[in-house]
Structure 1
Amino acid sequence: MATATSTTTTTNLGILISGRGSNMEAILAAVKAGRIPSARPRIVISNKADAAGLKTAERYGVPTKVVLPEGAKGWDYDKKLVAALEGAGVTPQDGLVCLAGFMRIISPEFVRHFKLRVLNIHPALLPSFPGLHAQRQAVEYGVKVSGCTVHFVDEGVDSGPVILQRTVPVEDNDTEETLAARILEQEHKAYPEAVRLFSEGRLRVEGRKVFIRSSS
């Protein structure tokens, strides 16, 4: 059994992006609005210098950093991420790392370093349709319900313990794009909620199961 929580009263957030970072903005907006009072965004990191989300983060007053791969892969690259995160105060003791459209596979060493402190969101109801193009997979498979999943990151691909899920009906005339747009609306609600639950120390992990403690 493990409790996924900060050891201090404040959780320091590090957010990793590669593009526009719409889920990053949803988290930052929720913090700014006071809906995640126990979280403090400390840094937004991108692996791409032209990521639009960097300017968004700056508008929210959050420091940004570009960590280019420069040929580095796996842990060789992720060590640079760890240095940047910990330099901003996002540590394995009181930090939370949120993947928000970060288009790299996190190494096992990174996952172990930030054990139960890395979150990701996936545009499907895991374990269905992991990997890329989840919305296309759902439409082509003919499912009637899809949605999004916020989960802890483990050493697999989209395979970590599930924290929250939100459902979205799949309409007969849906395309990958129309379904993705409706799922994204739910992503922007679910991800900030998961960050809030983590920062309040309300998540307990037992094996694959995540239990949410009542606020009372």
Structure 2
Amino acid sequence: MLALIEAAKAPNYPAEIQLVISNRPKAGGLKLAKDHGVKALSIDHNAFATRAAFEVELDRTLQENEIEFIVCAGFMRVLGAAFVCKWTGRLINIHPSLLPKYKGLNTHQRALDAGDTHHGCTVHWVSEGVDEGDIIAQSDLIIKSNETPDDLSKRVQQLEHSLYPRALRQALGFD
């Protein structure tokens, strides 16, 4: 998220970060966003009886704030088909693996367990299937011998910070 906020400060960047939303009231990203002058809100999914009710409120908030494009960064909640359908073509996500490998969680451990030599991250369009949308861009690295999942996670996060701003430009049709 911070990499996107920083990239958007450049005068020639094709996007403005207008709002950060978290479904977790204590998410550190909310304070970071506010510290960088970006409006930040929490919509606690636990306050809603159903996923659909949460997503109706999420959509209402996005519409109220005139949001045109959603960039998920650390939003660890699967979005339902109705929400995804409504935002198709305006909703992207970053995932810590070289999709289509390792959809879902624990990607770094899974890459190590499989004996992979390369790992990385993917920016993709969000679709109804988890981590199944069309790939926009990827970045990879060589896995080091004796690397732990935590070591690998930190290195992949560095890739994410450079990839996501570039991939957002591409998704918006500027590259």
Give the TM-score category using the shorter length: over 0.9
Task: Give the aligned partner of residue 80 of structure 2.
Answer: 107
CA distance in structure 2 between the aligned counterparts of 1:102 and 1:154, rounded to whole angstroms: 15
CA distance in structure 2 between the aligned counterparts of 1:34 and 1:72, rounded to whole angstroms: 43
Matches within 5 A, 1:87-106: 87-90=64-67, 95-106=68-79
Task: Give the aligned partner of residue 4 of structure 1.
Answer: none
Is residue 38 of structure 2 the alignment partner of residue 59 of structure 1?
A: no
Aligned partner (choices 132, 139, 151) of residue 112 of structure 2 = 139
More helix by share: 2
Q: TM-score, normalised by structure 1?
A: 0.77
Any gaps of 5 or more consecutive residues in structure 1? Answer: 1-23, 203-214
The one-letter amino acid paired with 1:85 is: L
CA distance in structure 1 between the aligned counterparts of 2:148 and 2:12, rounded to whole angstroms: 33
RMSD of aligned alpha carbons? 1.2
How far apart are residue 33 of structure 1 and its match?
A: 3.1
Q: How many pairs are equivalent?
A: 174
Per-residue CA deviation, residues 160-199 of structure 1 (Å, 9 max, x unaligned), is 0000000111112111011111111000011111111223
Matches within 5 A, 1:18-167: 24-34=1-11, 36=13, 38-69=14-45, 70-90=47-67, 95-167=68-140
How far apart are residue 64 of structure 1 and its match?
A: 1.2
Q: TM-score, normalised by structure 2?
A: 0.95
CA distance in structure 2 between the aligned counterparts of 1:75 and 1:193, rounded to whole angstroms: 32
More strand by share: 1
Percent of aligned pairs sharing the same letter:
36
